[in-house]
Amino acid sequence: MQTYPLSQLTEETLNALVTLYERPDVSEEWDEMTCVLDPEEIKLLNYLKSLLYGRQLVLMNEATLWARAIYPLLVLAEQEHIQAWAGVPLRASYPTFELEGEADGALATSIGGKIRTPYLIVHEAKRGVNAPEPQYQLYGEMLAAAWLNWKGNPNPEQKIFGCYTVNDSWVFVHGVVAEIETEKPILSIEFGPVCNGVLEAERIVQILKSIVAKHIDSST
């Protein structure tokens, strides 16, 4: 059985492994992902934004941008046992292929200080002329995360959220993985909003917190 590195996935490779459906429009479900941020969260967001205003974010290296603009917003979405993580190892063994690699970040259950199955995957787009398209790497990471979730809870359909970041912009997606035990699983993707990490930081945190709340509700 061939193992595919997540960092090298392309549209062509992914279409050979799974049946991919991409919904072109944004559903109203994303509009419903709102919540009231408390004064302390607003204060923290304003502070984080003040550190980014006027900065040449395009010129920052990936690690610095992640530390300043991406990961702090993930931390603000933490609730109960759901925690923000960076450098998340992923490995999945589907019937006809394996996926292996590492996601840049995730929101996932923490038990005893150890990461458990992730519910939202974050992929930071790599720069350079020959850099692969971020959305297909994200799809692969979501497939791997869905398989891990399926191992713990074998529902026939596994729902998984994801987003990829380009500089400080966030692109959200919602995925459903079905027919996991077949030779060619089905991955259905629904695109969400595109948000600017500085101008729309509050909206990003609202979406993240709503995604986490969905996961907590489904687990109780």
Contacts of residue 210, Cβ cutoff 8 Å, sequence gap at least 6:
32, 33, 34, 35
- Between 204 and 25, name the one with better pLDDT: 204
CA 39 to chain centre: 26
What's the rounded Cα separation, in Å, for the pair 55 and 49? 10
Task: Calculate mean pLDDT across residues 17-28.
Answer: 87
What's the rounded Cα separation, in Å, for the pair 87 and 145? 14
- Going by C-alpha positions, the residue among 44, 65, 18 that lies closest to residue 166 is 65
Amino acid letter at 19?
A: T
Q: How many CA atoms lie within 13 A of 140 on its CB side?
A: 32
pLDDT tens digits along 32-90: 888 889 999 999 999 988 888 777 777 677 888 888 889 999 999 998 889 999 999 99
Please provide the average confidence, as pLDDT, over all residues in the chain. Answer: 89
- Going by C-alpha positions, the residue among 181, 56, 62, 79 that lies closest to residue 122 is 62
Please report which residue ranges of 77-183 form alpha helices under DSSP H. Answer: 134-152
Question: Which percentage of the chain shows pLDDT scores above 90?
Answer: 61
Amino acid letter at 182?
A: T
128 falls in which pLDDT band (50, 70, 90)? low
pLDDT score at 167: 84
pLDDT score at 65: 85
pLDDT tens digits along 2-20: 999 999 899 999 999 999 9
Q: Does residue 22 contact residue 191 with C-beta atoms inside 8 Å?
A: yes
Report pTM: 0.92
Task: Calculate mean pLDDT across residues 131-136.
Answer: 80
Q: pLDDT at residue 131 above 70?
A: no
220 falls in which pLDDT band (50, 70, 90)? low
